[in-house]
Amino acid sequence: EGVGVLVLERLSDARRNGHTVLALVTGSATNQDGASNGLTAPNGPSQQRVIRQALATAGLTTADVDAVEAHGTGTSRGARHRHHGTGTSLGDPIEAQAVLATYGQNRDADRPLWLGSVKSNLGHTQAAAGVAGVMKMVLAMRHETLPKSLHISEPSSHIDWSAGAVELLAEPRPWQRTDRPRRAGVSSFGISGTNAHVIIEEAPEPDEETPGRTGGSLPAVPWLVSSRTAAGLADQAGRLLAGPADPGSGAEPLDVALSSATTRAALEHRAVVIGADPAGLRAGLEALAAGEAASGLIRDAVAGEGLTAFVFSGQGGQRTGMGRELAEAFPAFDDALREVCAHFDAVLELPLREVMYDDPEGVLKQTGWAQPALFAVEVALFRLAESWGLRPDYLAGHSVGELAAAHVAGVLSLEDACRLVTARASLMQALPAGGAMWAVRATREDVEPHLVDGASIAAVNAPGQVVVSGAREAVEQVASALPERQSRWLEVSHAFHSVLMDPMLEDFRKAASAVTYGRPRIPVVSTLTGEPVREFTADYWVDQLRGTVRFADASARLAAEGVTRFVELGPDATLVAAIEETNGDVLAVALLRRDRPEPATTVTALARLWANGGTVDWTAFFAPTGARVTDLPTYAFQHRSYWPQPPVAVPGDVTAAGLADAGHPLLGAAVTLAGDGGHLFTSRLSLRDHAWIADHDVLGTVLFPGTGFLELALRAAAEVACEQVEELTLAAPLVMPQDGAVQLQLALAAPDPDGLRTLQIHSRAEGAAADVPWTLHATGTVGGTPASADTVDLAAWPPPGSEPLDVSGFYDMYLQGGFTYGPSFQGLRQAWRAGDDVFAEISLPAGYETETARYGIHPPMLDAAVQALTFIALDGSGESRLPFSWSGVSLYAPGASTLRVRLAQSGPDSLSMALADGAGRPVAHVESLAMRQVSAAQLRPAGDAYPDAMFRLDWAALPAGADVTAATTADTSSWAVLGADGPGLADALGAHSAADLAALAGLPAPGGADAPDVVLAPCTGTADGDDPATMAAEARRLSHGVLELLQQWLADSRY
């Protein structure tokens, strides 16, 4: 079967939206006449009617159509080359006659209708057959060629081809543009008599030249990339590098930016490359493709369905020039800023915008100017973000910032908000200068016992960030009580949120009572109470001015409401760190930062929000630029094989044999032994059923891993309610056959008085005779008291104070040592060293998640954890060792798909292990693991396959005078004996003799060759007796003689 997608849009809409038009559908028709000739037999008159109806809908004649993509091909002859959808020779003639009776009539003789079928290339494709035909004709128009239909030997003899001007596309035909549009009909006929026909026409040329670009540029251009996987993200970057980012592509960066944002799906894994020019964009893409970090590169993954909150900064972040660069780059910000400043300019002595940008009088640090300026910038930032589709779910504001939040939430009109901000700022400014504010790294509970009259807590920005405000002497007294704490004195003109504000409170209450309050359209979480505000009043604003700014509580409440993305609106990032400290794993971004270019900072914040899963209206973002949609590389699919995997052999109903299903992938059945309470587990293991075992190739031999024996022991222990494998010692390796299987038995004895049970694991080849002994592979004991899960403390990750280890060539090193581990046994991802301990992160390749959940600890995962002992190198040869003996193994949580591991040396030749899952939760603990070096000789399979050392070459003596030729059928007449022939081989074989190589060249050879077929060189010594020295000397002489003969032979081109 096949699948195809066609995107339909009105031509006018497509042009307005900037979409590329591939072709036009000028006419279409469907009908149904299954009853006329049965469900499975086509009906010719019905097919003619549907063709004529489609032509009438398009206002065309048959002569206006150049080609038809048929449901069949009209090429069937007998049982060969059938292309009709029904797979019979019935359909082709009927369809061909319908085409001949319609399109074949009233045509010029030199312009026949060309008939073909994509089924000859693709097969039927079932429900996608018609769509495939449309695609073929669109592509034929693009390439100006009608492709040939395959396998046409000759037209069907069941069709009267003389009945109309129709010819088969037995060869490709040119289909070039002319003074009239090219058109093609596409037929698709379904079972039960449903007929469809559409007429496709080439897309018209645009009526006029594309107008030039009219918008402005962007100081920072974002290119968006997304994928289903992290690997796909890198591959997509590679495609962009080879496409529009290539210096020779001629692509306009703004067009690519718009297209990447609006014509591609926003998938889970996201990245944004931000650059001021093509070189910067290319550098970011190169880093993304290589998996590296770079300035201008943002990479993240969608963090779920979290909400978004806007938080407005308080006083302190104001700076000269704030907003100037943003106003020049983004008209929406400029317009909003002008509107707000106009309200303030009616009551302030100087134009607010001039003070913000240049501050010629040096007044911006004064409260009377700082608060209006902050309000103006924050409201303009909100309007800019709003124009880009950012919609907050919640609002909050720090001190004066809460007035900006109240205005954009609809509580205050812009006029009333500006009046209230002006009153607040001017009344504060009119207070006597003095007082002090001191910021300290401490909790509220740390500070409160040291407060004195005249000093109070002005703000709690985070659990460990407190600001004390009040009379200088009082604040200094508080500071002296906490001398070890990190702290700093704030540069302020007044001690805000303290007792020094009291003289202005009544006047401010009057000003706050003179404005009108509405209900918030967007929820506002108060920094006075830490709770959502239901209704704002004059008293609320007075308390908010005088009371403690509980920003930490407000921030925590927002997170509790489901906020995962915080956006700070203000001239600097004054709240981001406090938000992150309070809430941990959230995204906090600032739209402006004092030390960075404003447009790039804002675009970067927007990109970070989108990459994290936030919603951005990129069409609105790019609208002022005049950017146009352009072609982009297609999606970089991550190809995977979907061949069916052979099923693991699952036992039938073992209960019918009086057994129980063992409930484990490596064990088939279990039975409790009568009499003594022992247990027996049986299994059948093979590389076919457990393909991952084949990846455990050690010195050329596929072994069942030692971690697999431990997994069996853990499962058996759990079956009898034992919480620990106290001891497991491997006695012999289990060599897995390439074909066939092995039978396995695990026997648990009855418990002893201490509750301990002995364990044995045996195997033998499947199908072995009854008298073939079983091989003992492992012995051990289960039971005892397990180690506490508290011994596994791997929550902090990577381990604090550790140094990363290079694992890039780890498995190349193993390969050189003879350990040819396949993918499932290459699970070591990262490693660190902290002192004498080694830490490792383990995970299996994609696709093992379901299988991993069925094990206590999947053997390849635990094996990869053990592999990390290489970094401990008990004797410098860790990579040549295999597990030998396990002690004190406790399993706390089965089925982990990722492991954190700590390995520590516990003896001269052993180590201990602690294992946790990817979240740091305890998985297992190994008190001691002893390792042993392994050699190829130790891995010889037991049983019928004996080592070569058990055999020797033996010569059978022939009686003197025996007929040697009777023992062989070889023709030895062309053989030769070279050198001294002590044994008399030449006479015995009837062969030639040659004293040396020169004489050998003169001997006759078969077929004109340079040398005889076989040359024998006797190598016999002359030593007599058993004197070792004489025998050694003679062996050296013979060796030198043979070496010299070989050198001469190889140096002579005749041989």
Q: What is the pLDDT of residues 451-474, one digit of tens each?
A: 999 999 999 999 999 999 999 999
* CATH dotted code for 438-489: 3.30.70.250
Question: pLDDT band for position 211 (50/70/90)?
Answer: low
Task: Output the pLDDT for position 112.
Answer: 94
663: left (phi over 0), alpha (psi -120 to 50) or beta: left
Q: Tell me what the mean pLDDT of segment 659-670 comes to.
A: 86
Could you give the C-alpha distances from 766 to 107, 684, 685, 945, in angstroms and in order?
76, 8, 9, 14
127 Cβ contact partners less than 8 Å away, ≥ 6 residues apart: 1
String of DSSP letters for 825-864: G--EEEEEEETTEEEEEEEPPTT-HHHHTTSSS-HHHHHH
910 forms beta bridges with 907, 930
CA distance 511 to 421: 10
Task: Output the pLDDT for position 1036.
Answer: 87
Residue 324 neighbours by CB distance under 10 Å: 16
Task: Output the pLDDT for position 621.
Answer: 96
Task: Output the pLDDT for position 193.
Answer: 79
Residue of 499, 494, 512, 351 whose CA lies nearest to 424: 512
Task: Output the pLDDT for position 21.
Answer: 92
Question: Which run of H or of E encompasses 882?
Answer: strand 881-891
Q: Tell me what the mean pLDDT of segment 640-664 comes to.
A: 70
Strand pairing class (307-312; 563-569)? parallel
Question: pLDDT band for position 777 (50/70/90)?
Answer: very high
CA distance 84 to 70: 9
Q: By the 8 A CB rule, do 714 and 894 touch?
A: no
Question: pLDDT band for position 86 (50/70/90)?
Answer: very low
Q: Tell me what the mean pLDDT of segment 17-22 comes to.
A: 85
CA distance 130 to 184: 13
- In the predicted model, is pLDDT for residue 330 greater than 80? yes
Task: Output the pLDDT for position 875.
Answer: 43
Domains 11-202 and 438-489 share a fold: no
Q: Please provide residue 441's backbone torsions phi and psi, each rounded to the nearest 5 degrees.
A: -85, 90
438 Cβ contact partners less than 8 Å away, ≥ 6 residues apart: 467, 468, 469, 475, 478, 479, 487, 488, 489, 490
Task: Output the pLDDT for position 207.
Answer: 62
CA distance 137 to 141: 6
850 Cβ contact partners less than 8 Å away, ≥ 6 residues apart: none
pLDDT tens readout for residues 132-185: 999 999 999 999 999 999 887 777 777 888 888 899 999 999 999 998 999 999
Q: Tell me what the mean pLDDT of segment 1031-1049 comes to.
A: 86
The domain segmentation of the chain, as residue ranges, is 11-202, 221-302, 308-434+493-597, 438-489, 661-942, 969-1051
Q: Tell me what the mean pLDDT of segment 637-657 comes to.
A: 70
Task: Output the pLDDT for position 946.
Answer: 45
701-710, 754-763, 970-979: least confidently modelled range: 970-979
Question: pLDDT band for position 1046 (50/70/90)?
Answer: confident
566 forms beta bridges with 309, 588
Q: Please provide residue 130's backbone torsions phi and psi, each rounded to the nearest 5 degrees.
A: -70, -40
CA distance 25 to 22: 10
Task: Output the pLDDT for position 790.
Answer: 85
- In the predicted model, is pLDDT for residue 878 greater than 70? no
CA distance 1048 to 3: 70
Task: Output the pLDDT for position 79.
Answer: 33
Q: By the 8 A CB rule, do 235 and 637 touch?
A: no
Question: pLDDT band for position 613 (50/70/90)?
Answer: very high
Superfamily of domain 11-202: Thiolase/Chalcone synthase (3.40.47.10)
45-54, 304-313, 555-564, 940-949: least confidently modelled range: 940-949
- In the predicted model, is pLDDT for residue 603 greater than 80? yes
- In the predicted model, is pLDDT for residue 847 greater than 80? no
444-453, 862-871, 962-971: least confidently modelled range: 962-971
Residue 1026 neighbours by CB distance under 10 Å: 7
Tokens of 803: 């140094």
Task: Output the pLDDT for position 208.
Answer: 56
Average pLDDT, the chain: 88
pLDDT tens readout for residues 393-451: 999 999 999 999 999 999 999 999 999 999 999 999 999 988 999 999 999 999 999 99
Q: Tell me what the mean pLDDT of segment 24-53 comes to.
A: 83
Neighbouring C-alpha atoms within 13 Å toward the C-beta of 455: 22
- In the predicted model, is pLDDT for residue 221 greater than 60? yes
- In the predicted model, is pLDDT for residue 967 greater than 80? no
Task: Output the pLDDT for position 961.
Answer: 66
Tokens of 18: 């900037």
- In the predicted model, is pLDDT for residue 76 greater than 60? no
Tell me what percent of the residues of the chain surpass a pLDDT of 90.
Answer: 60
Task: Output the pLDDT for position 75.
Answer: 46
851-896-782 Cα angle (round to 5): 95
Task: Output the pLDDT for position 233.
Answer: 95
With both helix axes pointing from N to C terminus, report the angle between 230-242 and 278-290 in degrees, rounded to the nearest 10.
140
* CATH dotted code for 308-434+493-597: 3.40.366.10
Please indicate whether residue 627 or residue 938 has the higher confidence score (pLDDT).
627
Residue of 447, 461, 497, 455 whose CA lies nearest to 474: 455
- In the predicted model, is pLDDT for residue 209 greater than 70? no
- In the predicted model, is pLDDT for residue 91 greater than 70? no
Strand pairing class (183-190; 67-69)? parallel
8-22, 307-321, 617-631, 1015-1029: least confidently modelled range: 1015-1029
Is the domain spanning 661-942 CATH 3.10.129.110? The answer is yes
> pTM score, two decimals?
0.65
Q: By the 8 A CB rule, do 860 and 824 touch?
A: yes
489 forms beta bridges with 438
CA distance 206 to 113: 28
pLDDT tens readout for residues 254-295: 999 999 999 999 999 999 999 999 999 999 999 999 999 999
Tokens of 371: 């608060």
Question: pLDDT band for position 81 (50/70/90)?
Answer: very low
Tell me what percent of the residues of the chain surpass a pLDDT of 70.
Answer: 91
Amino acid in the structure at residue 326: L
Question: pLDDT band for position 940 (50/70/90)?
Answer: low
Task: Output the pLDDT for position 965.
Answer: 55
Please indicate whether residue 1031 or residue 228 has the higher confidence score (pLDDT).
228
With both helix axes pointing from N to C terminus, report the angle between 44-58 and 91-102 in degrees, rounded to the nearest 10.
40
Reduce the DSSP state of residue 745 to 3 states and report it. strand
759 forms beta bridges with 748, 780
Could you give the C-alpha distances from 488 to 447, 783, 903, 980, in angstroms and in order?
15, 60, 44, 103
Residue of 391, 420, 422 whose CA lies nearest to 509: 420
Residue of 970, 1000, 980 whose CA lies nearest to 992: 1000
Q: Tell me what the mean pLDDT of segment 804-831 comes to.
A: 88
Q: By the 8 A CB rule, do 62 and 109 touch?
A: no
The class level of CATH for 221-302 reads: alpha beta
